[in-house]
Amino acid sequence: SQQGEEDPQALSIQEGENATMNCSYKTSINNLQWYRQNSGRGLVHLILIRSNEREKHSGRLRVTLDTSKKSSSLLITASRAADTASYFCATEKLTGNQFYFGTGTSLTVIP
Amino acid sequence: DTAVSQTPKYLVTQMGNDKSIKCEQNLGHDTMYWYKQDSKKFLKIMFSYNNKELIINETVPNRFSPKSPDKAHLNLHINSLELGDSAVYFCASSPRDEKLFFGSGTQLSVL
Asked whether A18 and A25 are in contact (CB, 8 A), the reply is: no
CB-CB under 8 Å, A97 with B55: yes
- In total, chain B counts a number of residues equal to 111
Give CA separation, A97 vs A31, A79, B54, in Å: 11, 32, 12
Q: Would you call B21 an interface residue with chain A, using a CB distance cutoff of 8 Å?
A: no
Query: What are the pLDDT digits (tens) for B30-67?
Result: 899 999 999 988 999 998 888 878 877 777 889 999 99
Radius of gyration over every alpha carbon of chain B, rounded to an integer in angstroms: 13
pLDDT in tens, chain A (111 residues): 456 788 899 999 999 999 999 999 998 888 999 999 999 899 999 999 999 999 999 999 999 999 999 999 999 999 999 999 999 999 988 776 778 898 899 999 999
In angstroms, the separation between the Cα of residue A103 and the nearest Cα of chain B is 5
Spatial separation of the C-alpha atoms in residues B31 and B94, rounded to whole Å: 6
Nearest-Cα residue of chain A relative to residue B40 = A103
Spatial separation of the C-alpha atoms in residues B38 and B35, rounded to whole Å: 10
In a mutagenesis test of the B interface, which of A6, A23, A49, A97 is the best target, namely the one with the most B β-carbons within 10 Å?
A: A97
> Any residues with CB less than 8 A from the CB of A26 and at least 6 apart, and which?
A1, A2, A3, A4, A70
